[in-house]
Chain A
């Protein structure tokens, strides 16, 4: 018996490609033929359904989780979730052993089935991913959590499916922090807000008493850095979103702004403005040591580290106009990388390390684009009246940014919304928020 096991293992090691020659989704190009996928409602027995209805006021937990998964997959533009009412097999039977002919009949190439149980005040969710054409199971996993976390289970399952089918980490079990906006342009009220990546579970972190701008996640934990005009002193703050505790970063005699964390989360990099000149500084959060990184009479702002922490890209007008620069993290070897027509701002280094996303202003239009870290290969992904401030999904495949509309002379018609777009330039989507919104920042994956 042991020998056979070893043999199987050996075969697996020797012929991994053969065994893995299943459906694959290529995410490196705009996908015009999204993969047809059937997401069956997850099965739960009567007892589970009833007790969860009481516990968290959700009628059909298995169905609801499948909708979370469906919406996530659909939003990638890579998958085409099929209409549930065309499904021939019942969720419980399908989860045990799908009749693949039934699923290929409705043109599904992949199938997701699952089961939800409620025991000892915990929800246990298992799911399976099936290759319909090969007639084979591709993935099977189970998760246990408290009932209120049920949407997260849907996101984690989506991440696992995305990873299995594309070969890259997903970005669904993540959150977006942003600035919620209300009221007229001249007296705009801004609050920090946080929500799940799919727009659910919105929470407001400040009350709107003072102006707040540009929140950014720590890539390693649930800390956030942002700019607040508390007591009319614009300063960079550090906020722990679990405890709500916040503090001013550093002791600067003037405005600090444009903060971001270093990739290891131990430093904050930001601009400090004094006497009409903005330069870039870092503060080490462990020993509180402040370092000056740039020293130039121009405006130096919007700094962003490379994922290995060795380089910094930033925005400077030292050439006369806003352009993008790269330097070593100690401030040496400053090199301009943007040379196209127009102005360039808000550079932000991809978590994959190979690209820098930016905002470009040219002839009265605003663009979100990407270029290689040496400035070559510039690609503009989207053009609009006004848009800026891209933030990368943790897998470096999607950018979220904000877009504003033009207002008439009375100020009517103005709006600010979050949008996302694929690195390919396809699949541009409005990200739904409860209020107007700007300055989005994407968190890392909450679970790994």
Chain B
């Protein structure tokens, strides 16, 4: 018994404090990557060209494009206008917290939201095809809100 009871308590308390701040940091890290249920991080993002991200993210059950998504799609449109020989496939995805059939429809709706936006920025419909994978091809296999937010996406892929 080298430690007195009070010292022991103090150590316990400080360990607990450390744990708490670690949790808070973790939460802050997640917060900084999700805003209003939409993923804003860059972990899974690939690039079609320098400064042209390949994907946009959605809120749960939503297919509305966020300001950041529209920004990404305008960059994609500019890149596509410069590279008129390239066609693309828009792959729409959903997270695992929904019924399979509804998610297939939701993925299709999301990819079409991205397609419509590309078209308003001058990309011809016949350069864009759309496929939905529903919840079948998650990019992150975790079962937590951050993983799900990464999986609710439309990814622009070169078709040729």
Interface residues, chain A, CB within 8 Å of chain B?
184-186, 188, 211, 213-214, 227, 232, 234, 254-255, 257-258, 271, 273, 275-278, 299, 301-302, 315, 317, 321-322, 345-346, 359, 361, 364, 386, 388-389, 404, 406-411, 414, 438-439
Measured between alpha carbons, how far is A275 from B110 in the docked complex, in Å? 10
For residue B39, give the distance in angstroms from its CB to the closest CB of chain A: 15
Residues of chain B within 8 A (CB-CB) of A213 are: 100, 104, 136
Measured between alpha carbons, how far is A364 from B143 in the docked complex, in Å? 12
> Is the pair B101, A345 in contact by a Cβ cutoff of 8 Å?
yes
> Is the pair B141, A257 in contact by a Cβ cutoff of 8 Å?
no
Tell whether A188 pairs with B144 under 8 Å between CB atoms, given A299-B105, A301-B105, A345-B102. no
In the assembled complex, 7 residue pairs joining A and B whose CB atoms fall closer than 8 Å, in A order, are A186-B141, A234-B131, A254-B130, A257-B101, A275-B112, A277-B109, A410-B142
The 9 A-B residue pairs with the shortest CB-CB distance, nearest first, are A411-B141, A276-B112, A345-B99, A185-B141, A278-B105, A299-B105, A406-B143, A258-B101, A409-B142
> Is the pair B109, A346 in contact by a Cβ cutoff of 8 Å?
no
- Chain B interface, number of residues (Cβ within 8 angstroms): 32
Interface residues, chain B, CB within 8 Å of chain A?
61, 63, 96-102, 104-106, 108-109, 111-113, 116, 130-133, 136-144, 147
> Is the pair B139, A186 in contact by a Cβ cutoff of 8 Å?
yes
**Residue of chain B at shortest CB distance from A258:** B101
> Is the pair B131, A185 in contact by a Cβ cutoff of 8 Å?
no
Choose from B63, B101, B112, B142 the contact partner of A301 (Cβ within 8 Å).
B101
For residue A301, give the distance in angstroms from its CB to the closest CB of chain B: 5
Interface centre among B61, B63, B130, B142 (most CB of A within 10 A): B142
**Residue of chain B at shortest CB distance from A413:** B143
Measured between alpha carbons, how far is A214 from B106 in the docked complex, in Å? 17
Measured between alpha carbons, how far is A120 from B133 in the docked complex, in Å? 54
> Is the pair A234, B104 in contact by a Cβ cutoff of 8 Å?
yes
Residues of chain B within 8 A (CB-CB) of A273 are: 104-105, 108, 132
For residue B15, give the distance in angstroms from its CB to the closest CB of chain A: 23
Measured between alpha carbons, how far is A278 from B144 in the docked complex, in Å? 28
Measured between alpha carbons, how far is A315 from B98 in the docked complex, in Å? 13
**Residue of chain B at shortest CB distance from A409:** B142
Residues of chain A within 8 A (CB-CB) of B140 are: 186, 411
Measured between alpha carbons, how far is A277 from B130 in the docked complex, in Å? 12
> Is the pair A278, B141 in contact by a Cβ cutoff of 8 Å?
no
> Is the pair B108, A255 in contact by a Cβ cutoff of 8 Å?
yes
Residues of chain A within 8 A (CB-CB) of B112 are: 275-276
Measured between alpha carbons, how far is A408 from B141 in the docked complex, in Å? 8
> Is the pair A276, B136 in contact by a Cβ cutoff of 8 Å?
no
> Is the pair A257, B142 in contact by a Cβ cutoff of 8 Å?
no
Interface centre among A299, A302, A404, A411 (most CB of B within 10 A): A299
For residue B111, give the distance in angstroms from its CB to the closest CB of chain A: 8
Tell whether A407 pairs with B132 under 8 Å between CB atoms, given A186-B137, A301-B102, A302-B99. no
Choose from B97, B104, B113, B142 the contact partner of A276 (Cβ within 8 Å).
B113
Measured between alpha carbons, how far is A111 from B137 in the docked complex, in Å? 52
Residues of chain B within 8 A (CB-CB) of A359 are: 99
Measured between alpha carbons, how far is A327 from B86 in the docked complex, in Å? 45
Tell whether A276 pairs with B99 under 8 Å between CB atoms, given A410-B141, A411-B142. no
